[in-house]
Amino acid sequence: MLPDFVSVNPETKEEALAFLDSIGDARVIAGGTDLLVNMKRGESCRNVVDIMNVEGLNRLSVNDGEIVIGSTVTHAAISTITILNDMARSLSAACGLIGSPQIRNMGTVGGNLVNASPAADSISPLLIHDAILSIESKDETREETLENFIIAPYETSLKPCELLTSVCIKALPGYREGYRRTAKRAAWAISRLSVAWAILEDEGRFVDVKLAIGSCTPMPFRPRSVEEFLRGRTKVDPTIGEAVVMVTEEIRKITGDRPSFAYKLPVVSDLVQKALRG
Q: Counting contacts by CB under 8 A, is residue 102 touching another protein?
A: yes
CA dihedral 179, 185, 188, 190 (to 10 degrees): -60
Using N-to-C axis directions, what is the helix angle for 261-277 and 237-255, rounded to 10°?
Answer: 140
Contact flag: residue 110 with another protein (CB under 8 A): no
Residue 115, interface with another protein (CB under 8 A)? Answer: no
Is 9 a binder of another protein (CB under 8 A)? yes
Determine, following the binding rule CB under 8 A, whether residue 134 of this chain makes contact with another protein: no
Min dist. Cβ of residue 33 to another protein (A): 6
Closest approach of another protein to the CB of residue 234, in Å: 38
Q: Where are the alpha helices (DSSP H) in 130-194?
A: 146-149
Binding residue for another protein, selected from 15, 21, 50, 144, defined by CB under 8 A:
50
In angstroms, the CA 155 to CA 122 distance is: 16
Instruction: Using CB under 8 A, pick the residue from 139, 184, 187, 256 that binds another protein.
Output: 187
d(C-alpha 70, C-alpha 60), whole Å: 6
**CA pair distance 11, 278, nearest whole angstrom:** 45
Least distance CB 73 / another protein (angstroms): 14
Least spacing, CB of residue 29 vs another protein, in Å? 7
Q: Are 269 and 244 in contact (CB under 8 A)?
A: yes
Terminal-residue alpha carbon distance, the chain = 48
Distance CA 140, CA 189 (A): 38
Q: Between residues 6 and 83, which has the closer beta carbon with respect to another protein?
A: 6
Q: Does 137 bind another protein (CB under 8 A)?
A: no
- What lies within 8 Å, CB to CB, of 117 at 6+ separation is 34, 153, 154
Instruction: Identify the bridge partners of residue 177 per DSSP, sorted by sequence position.
Output: 198
Per-residue interface string for the shown chain with another protein, residues 16-35, x marking contact by CB under 8 A: -------------x--xx--
**Coil/strand/helix, residue 7:** strand
**Residues 212-241 close enough to bind another protein by CB under 8 A:** none
| Binding residue (CB under 8 A) for another protein from 23, 168, 182, 188 | 188
Nearer to another protein, 45 or 168 (CB): 45
- Regarding 36 and contact with another protein (CB under 8 A), the answer is yes
Distance CA 152, CA 141 (A): 23
**Which positions lie near another protein, rule CB under 8 A?**
2-7, 9, 29, 32-33, 36-37, 40, 48, 50, 52, 76, 99-103, 105-106, 187-188
